[in-house]
Every structure is written in structure tokens, then in C-alpha cells.
């Protein structure tokens, strides 16, 4: 079965998702840098502009998505996200910035990013994998909950951090982007300083082993470990207050492996089953509603892939047979999977 991209999220999760204020501060600086009225735009979407300057606060992901999209539209620049590299600052990723900059190698830094990226944002899916001759880093904005412009800004800021740590000549060996070339093709080529392919199957940066495994001048193991602890503590505090996101993330992890039950999720979260049920109930949710929401959203995405059979989709979503998948799909949409695909 082909690899499936998990890039949608149930509404009850996405509506609660938040971003680190220091990252939102970077967006504020991008707007001002490009001559847009940052305070006015923030106020327009219902965000107190001063909240972006308070490093400890968190801000609605959905509202920030609107601002990134508004910025690209009002500036007339579809590559607006690359502006993040021009205004990036060391504390933009909070303690994660320090942990990454203090790593032994850039590969270690990327691994730290993967481990703690939820400190910054929980609404983008990243992967880091080994490929022939090096490594591949991918990003996939979750449909309807994150702006592709904002996701690209995230990558631009990440590239800036790598260049601070490894020198201004740091670059990937090649880049693939899912969108078309837009009007900013030259800007992308200039920024990444690498061969770029547009309209590909995924957004990805490819790096040679030599460049990612090269020792970093600023390596400081003690500082990196201390920063790891700060990031882990912050993440734990944040996620304890958002049990719905925690369960969603666990199901997203377990679903492809087809090894999930409410008991397994509770065990992986290091809490009792009764405690999990009570915490979800306090949030007006339940394990089953999150699971069914996840299945529904993924089904509506996967059904549009003509290369996937109904059996493959049903199996991936954890249904024991095609009939059970068909009944569930009709309950969600009012029509059969085949009718939905045909329409």
C-alpha cells in the first residue's frame, strides 16, 4: 500500500491549537518589515497586538493562519513566508533555539527539532528520514488549520538558524516544493541556493550527510541538555492542559500501525484509563469522538486519491472490512464512498 499523507485534523483539535508567542512575534516583525500595519492586522483578526510580545503566552493557530494568508495577499507576494529569514531572531523558538544551536551537529539539531517542535506549533507534520547519500526533512501543513505561507516561513526561519550555526554558505543539496513556481521562483532559488523542483509530491529539503554530520563550532553538550530540559518541561505543562491534542497525536501515531485502543493510548500518556476518560469529559470530548473525527477527516482526504482502493482506505482507517467502512462513511456524509468519489 502506498504511503499516506496525514494532513488533516478533526475540528475539535484544530480549533484548540495554539502557537508559541515568540514565533508569533516573528510574524509581527515580518509584517512591519514589509511595510504592513502589523498592529492593525492583528487587531483585525481579534488578537491583542501586545500578546505577541509576551514570550510565555500562546496564541490561536487559526487566527495566525489568517494573518499569514492576509500578509501574502496584501503584499502581493506568494513567497511572503521567506521574509521570516530576514527578521529571524535567536529566541524565536524559545529554549529550542538554544538547544539546537548548542547541538554537536546539525543532524542532532534537527533531531531535537523533531522531538520538541510541538513547543512551537502542533499543526504541521514534519518528518526527518535517511535517504541515499544523506537526509530528507519534509513539512506538510495540516489542511484548513495552517497556512502554507506560515509553514514556509517556519522552514525559512529554520534555515536561518542553521546558517547562524554553520555559516552563511549552508544550503540543502536540493529542494522540492508542492506548489507551483509562483512569481517568486528567483527568490526561492536565491534563498535556498540549491536546485529547486516545483509541483512535486511533497515539500522537502535534502541534505548531504557531510553537511549535517559536520561538528558545529558552538556545540555545548551541557547547554544543549539544559535547554532540552526546559523545552521538555514547557511542553509537558502545555500538553497537560490540552488532553484532546495529546490523544489526537497518539492516534495519529498509532493509526498506521493498527495497534491502538483507549487503554494503549492512556498507557502511552502515562495516565490511568479512568483519568484519561475524566480529563476528556472535562473538555467536552471523548476517546471515541476524537477517533471517529480523525477517521472521518482522513477518509474525506483519502477518498480523493484514485490510486487507493476502498479496501486500502478502510484498512488504513482501522475498519475490519469494506462493509463497515462503507457504513461509517455513509453515516458521516450521507452517501457511499463510491458515490462520493464519483461526485
Ordered by where they begin, the domains of the chain are 17-226 (no CATH), 242-342 (1.10.10.60)
CA distance 99 to 310: 45
pLDDT at position 16, please? 67
Q: Helix or strand or coil: residue 8?
A: coil
Chain centroid offset of residue 240 CA: 19
CB 4, CB 316: distance < 8 Å: yes
The least confident of 77-91, 101-115, 246-260 is: 246-260
The least confident of 76-80, 184-188, 297-301 is: 297-301
pLDDT at 267 over 80: yes
Average pLDDT, integer, range 224-231: 88
**Mean pLDDT of all residues belonging to the chain:** 86
Cell numbers at 191, concatenated: 534563498
Average pLDDT, integer, range 30-37: 97
pLDDT at position 2, please? 42
Q: Which residue from 296, 258, 262 is spatially nearest to 279, judged by alpha carbons? A: 262
Task: Measure Cα distances from 157 to 112, 275, 330 in Å.
Answer: 16, 39, 43
pLDDT at 127 over 80: yes
pTM over 0.75: no
pLDDT at position 3, please? 44
**Bridge partners, residue 236, by sequence:** none
Chain centroid offset of residue 302 CA: 19
Rg (CA), the chain: 21
Q: Which residue from 73, 93, 90 is spatially nearest to 81, judged by alpha carbons? A: 73
pLDDT at position 191, please? 96
Cell numbers at 287, concatenated: 476517546
Q: Tens of pLDDT along 65-78? A: 999 999 999 999 99
Question: 241 falls in which pLDDT band (50, 70, 90)?
Answer: low
pLDDT at 319 over 80: yes
Average pLDDT, integer, range 328-333: 88
Express as a percent the part of the chain with pLDDT over 90. 46
Q: Tens of pLDDT along 129-167? A: 999 999 999 998 776 677 899 999 999 999 999 999 888
Would strands 134-141 and 124-131 be described as parallel, antiparallel, or unpaired? antiparallel
pLDDT at position 134, please? 95
Amino acid at each position: 500500500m502506498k504511503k499516506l499523507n496525514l494532513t488533516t485534523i478533526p475540528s475539535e483539535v484544530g480549533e484548540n491549537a495554539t502557537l508559541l508567542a515568540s514565533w508569533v512575534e516573528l510574524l509581527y516583525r515580518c509584517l512591519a518589515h514589509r511595510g504592513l500595519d502589523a498592529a492593525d492586522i492583528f487587531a483585525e483578526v481579534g488578537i491583542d497586538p501586545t500578546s505577541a510580545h509576551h514570550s510565555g503566552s500562546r496564541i490561536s493557530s487559526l487566527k495566525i493562519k489568517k494573518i499569514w494568508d492576509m500578509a501574502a495577499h496584501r503584499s502581493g507576494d506568494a513567497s511572503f513566508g521567506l521574509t521570516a529569514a530576514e527578521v529571524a531572531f535567536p529566541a524565536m523558538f524559545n529554549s529550542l533555539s538554544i538547544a539546537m544551536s548548542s547541538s554537536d551537529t546539525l543532524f542532532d539539531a534537527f533531531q531535537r527539532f523533531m522531538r520538541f517542535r510541538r513547543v512551537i506549533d502542533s499543526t504541521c507534520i514534519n518528518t526527518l528520514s535517511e535517504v541515499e547519500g544523506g537526509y530528507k526533512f519534509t513539512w506538510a501543513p495540516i489542511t484548513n488549520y495552517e497556512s502554507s505561507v506560515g509553514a514556509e516561513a517556519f522552514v525559512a526561519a529554520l534555515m536561518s538558524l542553521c546558517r547562524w550555526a554553520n555559516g552563511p554558505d549552508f544550503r540543502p543539496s536540493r529542494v522540492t516544493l508542492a506548489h507551483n513556481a509562483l512569481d517568486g521562483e528567483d527568490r526561492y532559488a536565491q534563498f535556498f541556493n540549491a536546485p529547486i523542483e516545483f509541483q512535486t509530491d511533497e515539500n522537502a529539503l535534502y541534505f548531504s550527510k557531510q553537511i549535517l554530520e559536520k561538528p558545529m563550532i558552538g556545540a555545548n553538550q551541557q547547554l544543549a541538555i539544559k535547554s532540552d530540559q526546559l523545552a521538555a518541561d514547557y511542553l509537558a505543562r502545555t500538553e497537560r492542559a490540552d488532553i484532546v491534542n495529546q490523544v489526537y497525536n497518539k492516534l495519529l501515531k498509532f493509526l498506521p500501525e493498527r495497534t491502538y485502543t483507549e487503554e494503549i493510548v492512556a498507557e502511552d500518556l502515562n495516565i490511568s484509563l479512568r483519568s484519561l476518560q475524566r480529563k476528556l469529559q472535562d473538555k467536552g470530548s471523548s476517546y471515541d469522538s476524537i477517533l471517529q473525527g480523525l477517521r472521518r477527516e482522513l477518509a474525506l482526504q483519502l477518498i480523493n486519491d484514485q490510486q487507493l482502493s476502498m479496501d486500502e482506505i478502510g484498512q488504513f482507517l482501522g475498519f475490519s472490512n469494506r462493509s463497515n467502512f462503507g457504513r461509517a462513511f455513509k453515516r458521516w456524509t450521507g452517501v457511499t464512498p463510491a458515490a462520493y468519489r464519483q461526485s
